[in-house]
Amino acid sequence: MRATEPNETGYAVNDGVRCYYEVFGSGPVTILLMGTFPVVDGRQWKAQVPYLARHFRVITVDARGNGRSDRPVGEAAYGDEDCAADAAAVMDATRTESAVLVALCSGIKWSLLLATAQPERVRALVAIAPGVHPLAPPGYPLQAVDHERWRGEYREWVDYHTELLLPEPHSSKVFDDLVGWSLQTDAETLTCRVHAPLRPHDEDEAVALSRALSCPVLVLHGTEDRCQPLARGRRFAELTGGRLVVLEGAGHLPHARHPVLVNTLIKEFVDMHTAPSKRESAWLFARERKRKALWVCSPIGLGHILRDLAIARALRETVPDLEIHWLAQPPITAVLQAEGEIVHPASAELASESAHWESESTHHDLHAFYAMRRMDEIFCANYMLFDDVVRETPYDLWVGDESWEVDHFLHENPERKIAPYAFLTDVIGFLPVDADGDPREAELCADYNAEMIEHLARYPYVRDRSVFIGGFGELPDASFGPGLPGIREWSAKWFTAVPYVLPFDPAAYRRPAALRTKLGYGNGFPLYVAAVGGTAVGRDLLELTAEAFALVRKDQPDARMVMVTGPRLHPDSLPDVEGMDKYGYVPALFEHLACADVAVVQGGLSTTMELVGARRPFVYFPLAHHWEQQHFVTHRLEHYRAGIRMDYSATKPADLAAAMLLAHGQRPAYRPMRRGGSAKAAAQLATLIHR
């Protein structure tokens, strides 16, 4: 899933060559994200677009030779002047009088040529790793693709080239993206570009064009850039009178690898050189400020919000004057609104995580690690929104419940931390789900874990509190990967554990008969409850359950089933079965689960642990390839000796019906849960506000 979709797309035609563009956002200032050497298309700016489009009108271009733009034949078609004219054609086609140009590498030459030909159209230029080739000799011999010599070896060249551009550790996702874009074109096309007529012709012309550039210029250049030497960026900044920001340790693609820094630099620079869209800004005298907390709640499942509300209630008992703003997205915003909580208005701008998870899942199969990894764009967009929000309102505390984006980017950009920050989670680290069949997955999981471990070790002050929900013994007894520490040992060092947080007092739910009367279900017949959490991922499981329940009715003709489809699945979209009632979103779902003689659920942690707390028998289906459900939840439920675990792909309706009948009438002997989790978690947070 993309984090934000364009509001206009089209082709600009320049001398018969079609150039694809996309337009995002709106406003008086347009930012044109230029094309570059065609190993990438406009998607190279995916970490910039959502953030910049929040503030400006943004246009991306696929350079000729890649993406959806044409791939004309012949060296003559890829000259710098043609590419510059493409950008002008896109500006014409999008009715853009003038724009701030943001360009990478070769894109700077095209910007320079565009500004020379039509200076009134270029308001400012952000030049990332400027590739104005005659300005300084290359520091490193980069082997260009050459069709004649490289015939049949394009893929090897792509790997070589991509690695060269990304010297930073933990760049695997950017690497995969870049390889993917490079494979959208071919050696023949790139060879044409390499041998195309170049401008500026020589150093004199490069100097003259750079000096003549009259607009404000910002140059960003990494010290480890193997494509464009830093000396080139420095010279370009000197000649244009621009400001140079040297990015220590960065390679050729800082916008992709260090997006928070690059985004904020672009925003600051554009604001500086254009009339601000926001005419009035305010700063509130510190002593006048009310105590405020921003609570970022992961929308993956509905469980987080219920525990967060329980912790927030306990926190307010200690800090009664605390105003909590929730940065959250559907479906949990519905829960918050029902509770009368303050949902921060920027929440509406969050890129949807739920939609992403749904798009990644099929047939009760969700490769959660890969899906999360592919959420890089959404994470970056949502972090940037957070970054805006915490600068618009001064908060006294940030709380993130599995706020992975906030946590990751704060560690990548520790200077962005400006308030106490507490991180809560019930899962620590990635474990491969198919270690034998997919070595790449094992390697990537270990790399992600290593990055997290490095982050905390290097910047321990980023998190003021790390709270693990549950006991360390409930974590899998495994290592983070080859050469990395054990999950339990490391977590015990870096986290404070609090007992599992239930949204209710389990003691109040130990008598299902009374509860059934209270909720109007009545007694004297077997009652089954099926629920699949807050996303639409569980549709297949619900369909299986409906079929199984029909079979159960053959043995237990008076059996009834309550099927809760959740807020994102319409009950009518599921089959009707005699004796089965279907509901969409049900508040306080745990009460209904606590009525069940047997519950059928996914392997989500919150729902299964609520069943453990209420001591109800249940059958659960961890999502296939879901690292958390496969490892962490399963391990935790085994720790509590709870639940019958089943595998969706190996389960026929008759198997499930048999399991439901088996579980019916069982008296669970679960290991008791420690209590007081919400108060203990709240006490951790309160110490950050009260001394």
Partner 1 sequence: MRAREPDQCGYAVRRGVRIYYEVFGAGPTTVLLLPPWAILHSRMWKLQVPYLARHFRVVTFDPRGNGNSDRPIDPFDYADAETVADALAVLDDTGTASAVGVGLSMGARVLLQLAAAHPERVAGAVFVAPTIRLGDVLPQCWVQPFDVELAEGTGWATYNANYWRHDLAGFAQWFFGEIFCEPHSSKQIEDAVGWALDTDAETLVATERAPHLGDRPTVGLPVAAQLAAKVRCPSLVVHGDDDRIVGSDTGVALAEALGCRVEIFQGGGHCVHARHPVRFNLVVRQFVEACVGRHDACN
- Contact residues for partner 1, defined by CB under 8 A: 216, 237, 241-246, 248, 271-273, 275-276, 278-285, 287-288
Least Cα distance to 54 among 33, 21, 96, 26 occurs for 26
Identity of the residue, 197 or 414, whose beta carbon is nearer to partner 1 in the bound complex: 414
Identity of the residue, 163 or 388, whose beta carbon is nearer to partner 1 in the bound complex: 388
Q: Least distance to partner 1 from the beta carbon of 602, Å?
A: 48
Q: Least distance to partner 1 from the beta carbon of 254, Å?
A: 13
- Using alpha carbons only, give the angle 499, 504, 507 rounded to the nearest 5 degrees: 85
Side chain identity at residue 359, one-letter code = S
The string over 164-175, giving b where at least 16 C-beta atoms fall within 10 Å of a residue's C-beta and e elsewhere, is bbbbbebbbbbb
CA–CA dist 358, 355 (Å, integer): 5
Please measure the distance between the N-terminal and C-terminal CA atoms of the chain and give it in whole angstroms: 44
Q: Least distance to partner 1 from the beta carbon of 223, Å?
A: 10
Identity of the residue, 278 or 554, whose beta carbon is nearer to partner 1 in the bound complex: 278
Q: Least distance to partner 1 from the beta carbon of 289, Å?
A: 9
Task: Indicate the length of the chain as a whole number.
Answer: 691
Q: Least distance to partner 1 from the beta carbon of 271, Å?
A: 8
Identity of the residue, 183 or 284, whose beta carbon is nearer to partner 1 in the bound complex: 284
Q: How far is CA 377 from CA 257, 383, 564, in A?
A: 12, 10, 32
CA–CA dist 323, 288 (Å, integer): 14
Least Cα distance to 430 among 473, 470, 382, 479 occurs for 479
CA–CA dist 581, 599 (Å, integer): 14
CA–CA dist 422, 324 (Å, integer): 14
Side chain identity at residue 57, one-letter code = R
CA–CA dist 249, 223 (Å, integer): 6
**Phi and psi of 314, rounded to 5°?**
-65, -35
Identity of the residue, 244 or 475, whose beta carbon is nearer to partner 1 in the bound complex: 244
Least Cα distance to 291 among 420, 424, 425 occurs for 420
Identity of the residue, 31 or 90, whose beta carbon is nearer to partner 1 in the bound complex: 31
Element housing 219 (H / E): strand 217-222
Q: Least distance to partner 1 from the beta carbon of 212, Å?
A: 16
Q: Which residues contact 12 (CB under 8 A, 6 or more apart)?
A: 18, 19, 21, 86, 89, 90, 92, 93, 94
Q: For 479-591, where are the E strands, in sequence order?
A: 496-498, 527-531, 560-564, 580-583
Q: Least distance to partner 1 from the beta carbon of 276, Å?
A: 5
Tokens encoding 594? 């606590």
Q: Least distance to partner 1 from the beta carbon of 30, Å?
A: 19
Identity of the residue, 3 or 239, whose beta carbon is nearer to partner 1 in the bound complex: 239
Identity of the residue, 269 or 549, whose beta carbon is nearer to partner 1 in the bound complex: 269
Identity of the residue, 281 or 572, whose beta carbon is nearer to partner 1 in the bound complex: 281
Identity of the residue, 279 or 554, whose beta carbon is nearer to partner 1 in the bound complex: 279
Q: Residue 144, Cβ neighbours under 10 Å: how many?
A: 15
Identity of the residue, 232 or 304, whose beta carbon is nearer to partner 1 in the bound complex: 232
CA–CA dist 473, 17 (Å, integer): 63
CA–CA dist 635, 473 (Å, integer): 10
Q: Least distance to partner 1 from the beta carbon of 287, Å?
A: 7
Q: Least distance to partner 1 from the beta carbon of 108, Å?
A: 18
